[in-house]
Amino acid sequence: MRPRSKVILQVLLTALTAAMGSGARGIPTPMAAAAPESPARAAVDAHALGLMEGMLKYCARVDAKSVEPLQYRIRMIAGNASTADVLRARESSSYRAAFDAVAAFVEKVDERNAARPCIEALQRRPSGQNH
């Protein structure tokens, strides 16, 4: 990997790690959208969701082993948000910018190193975890 690519990868992975600091639990089911909004529901971090879903889209093609752990991290970001909240996050400019940034970065990854961004993203401990 070229030095500039390493710097970009490190920045991307740092952003992904920071995105995981939300500490949320599972993606909501369609039934959750029908439920009334509860004050305990947290807003979905659209930027973090865009980063992780961008990585998932890429990694699904090049590193099947990373799909399930990435899906888990996406559920962590979505937390107990309603389906409508997750959809709103996906429609935001913050989500699109993050998703597109991942896509722009991974298209430049050398084929020999195709799985490396996936592996390194999963090796990083989400922020907020001390273990």
Number of domains in the chain: 1
Could you read off the pLDDT of 101-125 as tens digits, one per residue?
Answer: 999 999 999 999 999 999 988 887 6
The per-residue pLDDT for range 60-98, each reduced to its tens digit, is 999 999 999 999 999 999 999 999 999 999 999 999 999
- Can you give the length of the chain in residues? 131
The whole domain housing 113 covers: 3-123
Is residue 53 included in any domain, yes or no? yes
- Assessment of whether the complete model's pTM goes beyond 0.75: no
In a domain, 74, yes or no: yes
